[in-house]
Chains A and B, each alone.
Chain A
Amino acid sequence: MIVRVILVVFFSLLFGFAIGLSIGFFIFTLILKNSNVFGAKIARDDPRSSNLVIIAKEDRIQHRDDVFDYHITNGMRELLSNPGYHEMMSRSVKNPDNDQVTHI
């Protein structure tokens, strides 16, 4: 009887402290994150200003590399042949990568 109680108490203490310390660690790392880190949230670019236009979409396509490549290649071809892209191309910066940015 005494052996049973001692063993049960021993294992209960073992499990209890494992849970207690892990919960304690969780609570105080959460507090630490809020206490010592300031302004860590990156402001996302405003999606309202992006004016995203989806020009092609297909749902539940097959999980195969050639199918993926087909959609990506066709999609890019369509995008790059768009008049808007050509107009933007004529107005875009074409300076070499090593040049320092300055007014053009």
Chain B
Amino acid sequence: MATLCRNCGNPLVYDPETRRIVCDACGSSFAAEQIEAYGKAFEEGNAPRPVDPVTGEPVSSSAVQEFFECNVYTCSSCGGEIFLSGTEASTTCIYCGSPSVIFSRISKEKRPDFILPFQVTKQQATEIIRQRFSNGMFVPNEFKNLQVDSIRGIYIPYWLIDVYHAESAIVSGETGSGDSSHRHYYARTGRMKMNNLLVEASMELNDSSSRLLEPYDLRMLRPFDEEYMLGFYSDASDITFGELRRIADQRASDLFKWEVFKRINISSCRLEKSQSATLIDKDLKYALLPVWFVTTLYEGKPHTILVNGQTGKLVCAVPWNKKKFKGMVALVGSIIGILAALLFTIIGLIFTSGFAFGGFGVATVLTSMIPLIAPVLVITGAFSLIGFIFYKNVTRQIELTQAEDTFNFTKKRQG
């Protein structure tokens, strides 16, 4: 299990930039295949043959290949668990800062078929976060000056599945407009096959967050090699077949619906009714995909910032600077308000000039300004409604960043 530098004996780590296994202490650099070949040669010459822990009988090499070992560390202060491969040792708990992180056990996890090595380095991920936050007009200074020392690279487990989907649906859409608009109904039956559909396999990580991290370029997948995990954390699949079917059916149905809408090509399309059957091919492929995690507390609430370890896509929503937001709305709103008021005053005076002999009561002035009131109400209502939709969208995304399950996921894998 130990992967030490053959030149100086210090732990080796995977470097996403050079895509090689490097020794930080002496600067040696090796190809992953080199390390693997070296390890195999060592095992063939020296390592004892593996035996079944129950029967004591020697086991075949293919059975050994189904699993790989990783070290589990536990924080005795907060209870967080860390899965680490190789000789990487955890000395401090980043979540609670406690140094009481102790080796817990060696765990045998399912050996993945593939791994997508990190291509974005820790420095690049940090730079992406800093740059995007510094450009944000309402991002609070606490986030702009975020200390991202606690950034963790975690390999997330995914299943790559081939899906056969059959669906029969009734779809409706509108033709014409206004009073002449008509809703028509269409029946469509079809089948489709989706290859290598990604299904995130950790029950603890929030599905919505992991979905946003996509897409990944799966052409860069490599056969699993533990050396790629050196210096990173990982998680193991704990998803059930029921959940896998639910996700596959939902993804396939969404795509079927979208494709049917596109082909019917009519406005205000909606799904009226449907029935479907989704089958998953037995040839499941298990892969680990890279994500950078940063967890921080803001106003007492945990926030988890994610960066796709391959593409650098940043996924998070951060609270806004409320004082600045209110101030800007009031300032710009007042300027527009004064200009609009000037315009309305001129128009109002013209409209009411014909009532010179009819008295100037509130009712008279309001009556004369009726042509102004209707557009004012429509414009005010429309802008307020769209603004409110944007506002809800932002708060929903922030809730996702604050989601306890994502935070707990990271917490369990802190190092």
Decide yes or no whether B286 CB sits under 8 A from chain A. yes
Task: With both chains docked as a complex, state the minimum distance between the C-beta of B406 and any C-beta of chain A, in angstroms.
Answer: 14
Given A4-B352, A8-B349, A18-B380, A52 contacting B259 (CB threshold 8 A): yes
* B314 adjacent to chain A (CB < 8 Å): yes
**Nearest CB of chain B from residue A21's CB, rounded to whole Å:** 4
Which B residues are CB-close (under 8 A) to A23? 332-333, 336, 379, 383
Interfacial chain A residues near B273, Cβ < 8 Å = 68, 72
Residue B194 at the chain A interface, CB threshold 8 Å: yes
CA distance A93 to B136 in the complex (A): 47
B302 on the interface (CB 8 Å rule)?
no
By the criterion CB–CB under 8 Å, are A76 and B166 in contact? yes
> Once the chains bind, are B164 and A101 in contact (CB under 8 Å)?
no
At the interface, is chain A mostly helix, strand, loop or mixed?
A: helix
In the complex, what residues of B have CB within 8 A of residue A88's CB?
164, 279, 281
Number of interface residues of A (CB under 8 A): 84
Instruction: Kindly supply a per-residue 1/0 record for chain B positions 122-164, scoring 1 wherever the CB is within 8 Å of any chain A CB and 0 otherwise.
Output: 0000000000100111110000000000000000000100001
Q: Compute how far the CA of A56 lies from the CA of B365 in the bound complex, rounded to whole angstroms.
A: 64
Per the 8 Å Cβ criterion, residues 308-323 of B in contact with A are 313-320
Name the B residues within 8 Å of A53 (CB-CB): 190-192
A39 CB contacts on chain B under 8 angstroms: 212-213, 306, 313-316
> Of all chain B residues, which has the CB nearest A78?
B189
The answer to whether B138 touches A32 (Cβ under 8 A) is yes
Question: Contact between A59 and B184 (Cβ–Cβ < 8 Å)?
Answer: yes
Contacting B at CB under 8 A, from A1-37, are: 1, 3-5, 7-9, 11-13, 15-33, 35-37
Residues A57 and B316 in contact in the complex (CB < 8 Å), given A26-B384, A37-B394, A79-B168: no
Within 8 A of A (CB), among B155-212: 159, 164, 166-170, 172, 183-197, 201, 211-212
| A49-B315 contact given A17-B333, A43-B215, A88-B164, CB 8 Å threshold | no
A24-B336, A32-B320 given as contacts; is B314 within 8 A of A47 (CB)? Answer: no
Stretch from B49-57, B293-301, B338-346 forming part of the interface with A: B338-346
B254 contacts the other chain (CB 8 A):
yes
Other-chain contact of B241, A55, A79, A101 (Cβ < 8 Å):
A101
Option from A8, A16, A99 in Cβ contact (under 8 Å) with B240: A99
CB-CB under 8 A from A27, the residues of chain B are 332
> Is B31 positioned at the interface, with any CB of A under 8 Å from its CB?
no
Residues of B within 8 Å of A97, CB to CB, are 240-242, 245
Stretch at the interface among B18-26, B87-95, B366-374: B366-374
- State A19–B380 Cα separation when bound (angstroms): 5
The distance in angstroms between the C-alpha atoms of A40 and B190, with both chains bound, is 30
Chain B contacts with A in 238-262, Cβ cutoff 8 A: 238-242, 244-245, 251, 254-256, 258-260, 262
Whether A16 lies near B338 (C-beta < 8 A) is yes
Q: Is B63 an interface residue (CB 8 A)?
A: no
Q: Report the separation of the CA atoms of residues A9 and B349 in the bound assembly, to the nearest whole angstrom.
A: 9
Partner of A45, one of B169, B254, B281, B340: B254
Q: What is the 8 Å Cβ interface bit string for chain B, positions 32-59, against chain A (1 contact, 0 not)? A: 0000000000000000000000000000
Q: Which of A8, A30, A103 contacts B365 (CB 8 A)?
A: A8
- B387, A25: Cβ atoms closer than 8 Å: yes
Cα–Cα distance between A56 and B168 once the two chains are bound (Å): 9
What is the chain A residue whose CB lies nearest that of B128? A38
Q: In the complex, are the beta carbons of B348 and A38 less than 8 A apart?
A: no
| A11 x B348 contact (CB < 8 A) | yes
Instruction: Report the bound CA distance from A68 to B369 in whole Å.
Output: 52
Q: Flag B377-402 by CB within 8 Å of A: 1 or 0 each.
A: 00111011011101101100110000
* CB of A48 to closest CB in B, whole Å: 10
Tell me whether B2 is interfacial, beta carbon within 8 Å: no
A61 near B349 with CB under 8 A, answer no
CB distance from A69 to the nearest CB of B (A): 8
Contact indicator per residue, chain A 67-104, by CB within 8 Å of chain B (1) or not (0): 01001111110111010110011011101111111111
Known interface pairs A35-B320, A71-B170, A76-B277; A100-B240 also in contact (CB < 8 Å):
yes
Please give 15 more A-B residue pairs, beta carbons under 8 A apart, in addition to A4-B352, A36-B139, A71-B189.
A4-B360, A7-B365, A9-B341, A12-B345, A17-B340, A22-B333, A22-B383, A23-B383, A32-B325, A39-B306, A61-B187, A68-B273, A72-B168, A93-B280, A97-B241
A residues at B contact (CB < 8 Å): 1, 3-5, 7-9, 11-13, 15-33, 35-45, 47, 49-63, 68, 71-76, 78-80, 82, 84-85, 88-89, 91-93, 95-104
Enumerate 24 A-B pairs (CB-CB under 8 Å) in ascending A order: A9-B345, A12-B340, A12-B342, A19-B380, A20-B338, A22-B381, A27-B332, A33-B394, A35-B138, A39-B213, A39-B315, A47-B259, A52-B192, A61-B187, A68-B170, A68-B273, A75-B168, A78-B189, A80-B166, A92-B164, A93-B241, A93-B284, A97-B240, A102-B237
